[in-house]
Chains A and B, each alone.
Chain A
Amino acid sequence: MNEMEFFIDHSRCIGCRACMQACEECDTHRGASMIHLETIMRADSVQTAPQVCMHCEEPICAQVCPADAIKKTADGIVQSSLKPRCIGCSNCVLACPFGVPKYKAEINQMMKCDMCYDRTSIGKGPMCATVCPSGALAFTTREQIERTRQGVAIREWSFGGEVVKTKVNVLVPRHVHRIDVSVEQLGMTSTDEYDVANLLMGEPNGRK
């Protein structure tokens, strides 16, 4: 199993946007960046959220496409919409559980990350994962990942009752087998763990 695969570890992301800048250089959509990078809530944290297309085994984007314009290639890559078919309805944009497709109003077409098909189909790494300075995005072998990371690479998600399996792997601690996504908010306790003022507040518990 020395096949190259895509791995994502959102927690490593430093928000530098090298991925977005490099994505523009990909020949299948040169000049338009397809990867997403959100700053989750700058007022509270510097945490950021990178998102590439996860290339679902049964892509919901394709299922909800009225024009039958989204196709998966034999190697499992969910391509951008077929230009002759896409009617720009945005069903895929709204239905994708990962929030990946982008509707480009000026050309009335949906475009999305195709894992740099111009590059990966000839053995090169995708732009974003090649440049990513933090290793949040990586394109390598499973063997290499298992050797260099604490976590495991899984590809199963749930969104409410919907279980989604993807080609792209996500890195999680060893005991996790599926990421259950709901409406997640920053800060899991009522106290704000990223607030520097809180960190400075007196002596932490149990230590003098």
Chain B
Amino acid sequence: MARPPVSIPEIVRQFGPTLNRIPANGWKADQEPDRIVKTHCCFCGQQCGIQLKVKDNKVIGFEPWEDFPFNQGRLCPKGVKRYMQDEHPDRLKNPLLRKEGAGFAPVSWDAALDKTAGEIRRIQQSYGNDAFALLGGASLTNEKAYLMGKFARVAVRTANIDYNGRLCMVSAAAASKKILGIDRSANPWSDIPKAKAILVAGSNVAECSPITTHYLWQARENGAKLIVLDPRMTPIARNADLFIPVRSGGDIGVFNGMLHVMIERGWINREFIARHTTGWEQVEEVIRKYTPEYAAKIAGVPASMIVRAAEIWGPAETSFLLHARGIEHHSKGVENCMAAINLVAATGRIGREGCGYAMITGQGNGQGGREQGQKCDQLPGARDIENPEHRAHIAKVWGVPEESIPHKGLSMVKLFEAIHDGQIKGLLSICSNPMVSLPNNAYVREALEKLEFFGVIDFFMSETAHYADLVLAGSLMEEDEGTTTNVEGRCIRHRKVVEPPANARVDWKIICDLAARLDHAEKFSYNSPREIFEELRRASQGGVADYYGMTWERIEQENGVFWPCPEPGHPGTPRLYEGNKFGHPDGKAHFQPVEWRPAAEEPDSEYPIVLTTGRVVSQYLSGAQTRRIGALVDQYPQPLCEIHPLLAGKMGIAEGDFVKVESRRGSVTVRANVVKTIRPDTVFVPYHWPLDRAANNCTVRVIDPVSNIPEYKICAVRVSKVPPPQDEIAQLEVQQGGVR
């Protein structure tokens, strides 16, 4: 019975999101903190260093951490205000049990854990092991991500565990692995300022990874040329040397067109290609037809822009490619990324100072979260769950028979399809808010409503938790300790800053307690996250993402250690592929020919406009945390539909008018923001809000065949002016899904 027990406005009234505007102990300047703890921001994969001030087990403020090399004290507004999530009135402090018609009522931990374990047992006995699924998240520490994978395979013994990194990093990961052999940014950020040409594809750096802006500027001060691909003129695009306002989904046109020009003009490193790569012939063959004119039609930009991009990128002495969700969130996301990485491999500018490639991770532990075995197809150390050797190694570390480890399960979107189809009957999720973050929200809701049991571990009542039978009050990042791996592949330490409040528990303990109730206490008998890390190290040993040589002490002393770090004395590997040694068994990079193909849903006469979605700087992912911080909500209170005046004019839409953005699946009603900084065939709505303000009401539930990432960046919509909505949802506060 996974329906909300009372109306959603009723739940919202009780559990928020409400706004925290005032720090614990007030806006005072007369309190000396008991201690100042060096840790990291939890919002986004940059994982900036930050110091939190603590008094009486309360976080009362922050202080920049200028000695941490990655961000040197720099923070975005989310980092600055992150401490306002502590001491929050909405904080869940007890396990909550769904009571039909009444809401959620506190229960004891014993009752909550017994019920969860009981439901897992019951569902698995009735429908089979795989009928109970687990859903993890990429904002979990490495330790928790590892624990989730082990919990699924050892304690629950279900194949069906996946995580919300599936909505984020998997296209980049798959493409990187296919061509270069390793799923990780190839270079540390310190290489960016040394590059002479920089290509930023599909990344609104200023809003989604603000700290990277400074690296880009450093490069430009050193004389670098910056090329930006984006359907919107974002803040970094405004100043770029070449801004290519590419049509959403047209990126392959730009990349292949650039490569075509580079081949034509001899800006290809033939020697490197011959010695260190395979598959170039097929690429050259495919590229032949991508003349600038042909490519321009795909990309939806003037051909001269593509030529100019090649002129900047081709002959550059050093170069750096950065890409993010803009090219990855497509049903051809992997292909988009491969076409981009081909540009790097064709010049041989990788694996040395100032030359390289990086994917900009989105989620807090976007990198580490995908290596420790909470992906449906992976075991710890970024190992392949279908590889017998890999299975054997992990079975040994876990002390279980190899055959007891389930095989590949369903990825996140397919998992929800299986729930919708009735194959999966129970779900336990942590660190995930699919009611905001998955495409086609209506479908997600239908799926959740079909679950026989839905358990959620969370610290706030997320929009997804409304549908839970049981909500287990877990821990914030700063209430637990562990490690994450940042955008560069640098494993860093999150220190425990405060204890969880009242009756809330640290997440790893909840998982271990559940494992014990499933008769696996001895395999989950950790006393601390450090013991989990020790096991993780061993589990990762010999894998691609090898953490074996790391210890928490080293990570602290060295301000992070880059994997692979296979031996205790090993310095870690900030830059991959040095000496042109690539991650494939043959040591070579494998070119992948890429042909452009249309998106799953291109605009047509009925739905003539492209909708693309993304983030704003003041919000993080589904907003479960950042929609509760007053200062951040004030900065950008409600989603706006960015629309070009040429398009708006056709429909009589003026700035501030309410518009209905409607796809075949659903609609969102928001105010219009009429701006010239977006392509006139495209509208943009940020996705951080729930209910009638969820951009994902419209997006299409189609995934990339390889990575299984959903196509968030393009679907067909129509846009019309509507009167201001007056319904019950519209009346809610903006952070709750209302409008102002």
Q: Which residues of A contact B (CB under 8 A)?
A: 11-18, 20-22, 24-25, 27-28, 30-31, 42-48, 118, 125, 127, 130-135, 148-150, 192, 194-197, 199-200, 202-204, 207-208
Contacts and interface: CB of A to CB of B under 8 A. Distances in A.
Contact of B673 (A20, A42, A149): A42
Contacts of A199: 243, 245, 301
- For chain A, what secondary structure do more than half of its interface residues adopt (helix, strand, loop), or is it mixed? loop
B238 A16 contact: no
Interface in B593-628: 617-618
B230 to A, nearest CB: 10
Contacts of A195: 676-677
Contacts of A22: 64, 75, 80
B28 interface: yes
B73 A149 contact: no
B239 A18 contact: no
A48 B618 CA distance: 16
A11 B238 CA distance: 10
B201 to A, nearest CB: 17
23 contacts: A14-B206, A14-B210, A14-B235, A14-B236, A16-B76, A16-B206, A18-B74, A25-B80, A31-B22, A43-B674, A130-B73, A134-B206, A134-B210, A192-B676, A194-B238, A195-B676, A196-B644, A196-B676, A197-B676, A204-B304, A207-B302, A207-B308, A208-B304
B304 A207 contact: yes
Given A18-B210, A25-B62, A199-B245, 15 more contacts: A16-B210, A18-B76, A21-B635, A43-B675, A45-B238, A45-B676, A46-B235, A130-B64, A130-B66, A131-B73, A133-B210, A194-B676, A195-B677, A197-B679, A207-B304
Nearest to A148: B221
B50 to A, nearest CB: 10
Contact of A118 (B29, B239, B677): B29
A45 B674 CA distance: 11
B75 A46 contact: no
Contacts of A125: 64, 66, 73
Contacts of A149: 221
B560 interface: no
Contacts of B27: 24, 30-31
Interface string B74-92: 1111011100000000000
A130 B76 CA distance: 11
A14 to B, nearest CB: 4
Contacts of B61: 25
B389 interface: no
B73 A16 contact: no
A24 B81 CA distance: 10
A45 B217 contact: no
A204 B207 CA distance: 30
A196 B679 CA distance: 6
Q: Which 8 A-B pairs have the closest CB atoms?
A: A31-B27, A14-B206, A207-B304, A27-B29, A14-B235, A133-B210, A195-B676, A21-B80
Nearest to B72: A130
Contact of B214 (A25, A45, A46, A133): A133
A134 B214 contact: yes
Nearest to A20: B77
Contact of A202 (B73, B210, B302, B678): B302
B619 to A, nearest CB: 12
B302 A15 contact: no
A148 B239 contact: no
Interface in B199-228: 206-207, 210-211, 213-214, 217-218, 221
B351 interface: no
B519 interface: no
- For chain B, what secondary structure do more than half of its interface residues adopt (helix, strand, loop), or is it mixed? mixed
Contact of A135 (B217, B308, B673, B680): B217
A125 B235 CA distance: 26
Q: Which range contains the number of B residues in contact with the other chain?
A: 35 or more
A195 B64 CA distance: 37
Nearest to A17: B77
B217 A15 contact: no
A203 B77 contact: no
B233 A207 contact: no
Contacts of B304: 203-204, 207-208
Given A17-B617, A134-B213, A194-B238, A42 B675 contact: yes
Nearest to B216: A134
Interface in B643-672: 644-646, 655
Contacts of A130: 64, 66, 73-74
Given A131-B73, A133-B210, A11 B677 contact: no
A48 B77 CA distance: 15
B29 A131 contact: no
A10 to B, nearest CB: 11
B536 to A, nearest CB: 31
A46 B233 contact: yes
Given A150-B221, A194-B677, A196-B677, A203 B302 contact: yes
Interface in B39-96: 61-62, 64, 66, 71, 73-77, 79-81
B206 A200 contact: no
A196 B245 CA distance: 7
B642 to A, nearest CB: 10
Interface in B673-709: 673-680
Nearest to B66: A130
Contact of A16 (B617, B675, B676, B677): B617
B80 A18 contact: yes
B307 interface: yes
A24 B233 CA distance: 30
B300 interface: yes
A46 B74 contact: no
Nearest to B21: A31
Contact of B680 (A20, A27, A47, A196): A196
A203 B303 CA distance: 7
A50 B401 CA distance: 62
A203 B305 CA distance: 9
Nearest to B674: A43
Contacts of B238: 45-47, 194
A173 to B, nearest CB: 12
A196 to B, nearest CB: 5
Contacts of A27: 29
A42 B656 CA distance: 12
- Residue among A18, A22, A130, A149 having the largest count of chain B Cβ atoms under 10 Å: A18
Nearest to B232: A196
Contact of A131 (B28, B80, B218, B239): B80
Contacts of A47: 238
Given A18-B210, A207-B307, A131 B79 contact: yes
B75 A204 contact: no
A193 B261 CA distance: 27
Contacts of B74: 18, 130-133
Contacts of A18: 74-77, 79-80, 210
A131 B64 contact: yes
Contacts of B29: 27-28, 30, 118
A116 B220 CA distance: 30
B234 interface: yes
B243 A135 contact: no
B413 interface: no
Contact of A200 (B79, B218, B245): B245
B457 interface: no
Contacts of B64: 22, 125, 127, 130-131
B631 interface: yes
Contacts of B307: 207
A208 B291 CA distance: 12
Nearest to B646: A197
A196 B80 contact: no
Interface in B283-322: 300-305, 307-308
A199 B677 CA distance: 10
Contacts of B239: 11-12
Contacts of A194: 233, 238, 676-677
